[in-house]
Amino acid sequence: MNGELRDPRAMQLVLELRQNGITDDKLIHVMERLPRDLFVPQAFQARAYENLALPIGYHQTVSQPHVVALMTQSLELNDRCKVLEIGTGSGYQAAVLAPLCRRLYTIERHKGLLVAAEERFKHLRIPNITTRFGDGSKGWPEQAPFDRIIVTAAAIDIPPVLVEQLAIGGIMVVPIGDDQHDQRLVKVVRTDEGTKISDLGWVRFVPFVEGEALEH
């Protein structure tokens, strides 16, 4: 991945992340060197390194950096992990995940967002991301099981289809709640007996939408 010249704004951002409980040094290294302004529309360039969610079109957002960091840290990634991301969006979360895992599979239902994200991955020379245009609610059964799954939109409940695609001992991080003002981020660990669930705190995400992918 390019971006070895560190932006002072990025350095300030990761300092803030450390102060707010992000302790994974490899994750901090990735986020400090990743040009977040590449994933933000021109109108919001001046705010690219603020700890804010920002609109990216199609009624979607690029997540707040602290939430990206918290979700990524909670996945407990290593370089052997095969990861599924539901909701590529701008590609920012994927670009954070990819250097920390073996292979990342990411699904997006808005064709325009996916094409733009693919261009960013190419520009950054990230080789281990495989993309799909489609309905993320179905997961990616041909590639299952996954060691880790991350969902970047709020589901009403933990999606059973995605739990089924999670390896035993695997971890899924997903926001839960049908009201943007009452969503919780949960960590799901699949065990032989079922699932073990931990609450990671309050978040705000766009809704998890099931149905046909959108060409426009």
| SS3 readout for 23-75 | CCHHHHHHHHHCCHHHHCCHHHHHHCCCCCCEEEECCEEECCHHHHHHHHHHC
172: confidence class by pLDDT, cuts 50, 70, 90: very high
Q: Is 137 a known active-site residue?
A: no
- 8-state DSSP, 154: B
- 8-state DSSP, 122: H
2 lies in some domain? no
Distance CA 157, CA 152 (A): 14
The count of residues in the chain is: 216
209: confidence class by pLDDT, cuts 50, 70, 90: confident
- 8-state DSSP, 153: S
| pLDDT greater at residue 70 or residue 3 | 70
213 lies in some domain? no
195 lies in some domain? yes
Residue 213, pLDDT above cutoff 60: no
How many other C-beta atoms lie within 10 A of the C-beta of residue 143? 14
| Residue 129 contacts residue 121 (beta carbons within 8 Å) | yes
Q: Work out how many domains the chain is built from and give that number.
A: 1
What confidence score (pLDDT) does residue 139 get? Answer: 97
pTM of the shown model:
0.92
| Residue 39 contacts residue 68 (beta carbons within 8 Å) | no
Question: Of the residues 63, 74, 90, 137, which is catalytic?
Answer: 63
211 lies in some domain? no
Distance CA 45, CA 122 (A): 21
28 lies in some domain? yes
148 lies in some domain? yes
Which domain range does residue 143 map to? 8-203
CATH of the domain at 20: 3.40.50.150
209 lies in some domain? no
Residue 178, pLDDT above cutoff 90: no
135 lies in some domain? yes
164-193 mean pLDDT: 92
Distance CA 42, CA 107 (A): 24
| pLDDT greater at residue 31 or residue 4 | 31
| Sheet order of strands, 103-108 included | 129-133, 103-108, 82-86, 146-151, 166-176, 183-190, 195-203
What confidence score (pLDDT) does residue 128 get? Answer: 98
